[in-house]
Amino acid sequence: MSGQGSAVAREASSRRTFAVISHPDAGKSTITEALALHGQAIGEAGAVHGKGGRKGVVSDWMAMEKQRGISITSAALQFTYADCVVNLLDTPGHADFSEDTYRVLTAVDCAVMLIDAAKGLEPQTLKLFEVCRHRRIPVITFINKWDRPGRAALELLDEIEERIGLKCTPLTWPVGPGGKFAGVIDRRGDDAAEANDMVHFERTPGGTREAIQTRLTADKAAARFGEDYATAVEEVQLLTEIGATHDQKLFEAAVTTPVLFGAAVANFGVAQLLDVLIEHAPAPAAREDAEGEPRPVESPFSGFVFKIQANMNKAHRDQVAFVRVCSGRFERGMVVTHAESGRPFATKYAQSLFGASRDTLDEAFPGDVIGLVNATALGIGDTLYVDRKVVFPPLPSFAPEHFATIRTDDTSKAKRFRRGIAQLDAEGVVQVLYSDRRGDATPVLAAVGTMQFEVATHRLTEEFGVPTTLDHLPYELARRTDTDSAEKMKRAPGTETFVRARDGVVLAAFLNKWRMQTVKTDYPGITLEPLLADADA
């Protein structure tokens, strides 16, 4: 290995790139802030539902996110901790933004699955876990909100194992039931597991700073917490007896999931989670290209675009392409090749990202996320490289389930309207479709969930100054088809065919699955193929 290659390998080994996935309201944005706080990237944590003078979460920068207290778009946060560079990708929790979350999951090496202690596994958590399973992404589980009444810890482990098939290997175990959270028994390492040492948590005023942690020996913990500690020790012994202990190879093979307990809003257990990420989450490794060939991290620079975002800061009014570095050393100003067009691409305006904050970035290594400013030639899923050519697999789209025409009644703003629609399409906020039946002047928006329509109309108003009107269409599902099949289905009732603006893919939309079955019977031999959500979910 060359000197430069070994240096890149060392840098890659010090990276941890992961996403947090959860059902809405499980506390995902709160734990994102808590992790950034413990990494000393911020001095004080906010909360999703801020109180008094508390700040909003740094990863939620869009106006709608701040108003509603939910994450609508993904964000990248980078900070250093324990000699590692942590790349944390915050994802939307709401099911309507599954497609954005899926794209983020293509760019990470590990995921933290956040579970509400009272609710257990919820539908969106299950859906996102299936994406992780499909991509063979190792998962660390954090059972959140243990400071509130909830279900029994062993019951939650049973649910995880029964419903998603991952064997749970707790690394921390709660002392005290939900709502009476005193701390955790630390099972990390042979010595700690045998000693049953306890970490006691005390909340700081307002919960805006790191929790006070006190390590207690078994004797001191027993004297102070009595029956709660004794129960926890019994449960830990049971876990040991049934073999629920961490195995790094099985974790990286996505067979087991390390489990931790905590309360993100009070910063309980967050330090332990961050330590586990540093100690056990896999570092960036060789990534397979579109042909299935692995490209080692020591290879010349390569990366792919997993997200595009415009107008993150109204003062800038620019477009940023988020690029995951897959191999090599990136240097600002280097000329790379855009694989899809074969054209050179200059990287003079490269930035590091921290929520909406941006700083000039001089270099980056595998696992890092680069923000390329005003990269209008780039699309989601595009590959960039130097020297030896590589093309990474395209990022599939989810099957839309909601459709609506969109228009502006202010003809003086028609040009802005078209520009705004093109921007939303480029970012993947919605899928933009056109059809012969409606003409180019009447685009159709297609979405996984109706909240995507709200985001689209809100942004057209706020960022482009264009008021719009939506008219919902009755279709409920779509399939990929081809031009010959689309021509045959032109007169089929309850059916409409479209061309997707982003990539020219032909889609057929149906009123419901029964109408689709009837069309298949009436027009034998037509092409109807499932999209990602149908194939994997």
Annotated binding site for GTP: 90-94
Angle between helix 98-105 and helix 123-134 axes, rounded to 10 deg: 30
Annotated binding site: 90-94
CB of 115 closer than 8 Å to CB of 125: yes
CB of 208 closer than 8 Å to CB of 44: yes
Cα angle: 228, vertex 229, 234; to 5 degrees: 100
Q: What are phi and psi of 393, to 5 degrees?
A: -55, 145
Q: In 3D, which of 250, 252, 272, 251 has the Cα closest to residue 261?
A: 272
How far apart are alpha carbons 182 and 162 in whole angstroms?
A: 28
Query: What is the chain's length?
Result: 537
Contacts of 380 (CB under 8 A, 6+ apart): 103, 305, 306, 307, 308, 395, 426, 427, 428, 502
Using CA atoms, how far residue 123 sits from 62, 127, 129, 202, 289, in Å, is 25, 6, 10, 33, 32
How far apart are alpha carbons 230 and 235 in whole angstroms?
A: 9
Q: In 3D, which of 462, 395, 459, 406 has the Cα closest to residue 432?
A: 406
CB of 399 closer than 8 Å to CB of 534: yes
How far apart are alpha carbons 38 and 527 in whole angstroms?
A: 52
CB of 294 closer than 8 Å to CB of 288: yes
Which stretches of 282-361 are assigned E, i.e. beta strand?
Answer: 287-288, 294-295, 302-310, 319-327, 330-331, 335-338, 343-346, 350-354, 357-360
How far apart are alpha carbons 161 and 159 in whole angstroms?
A: 5
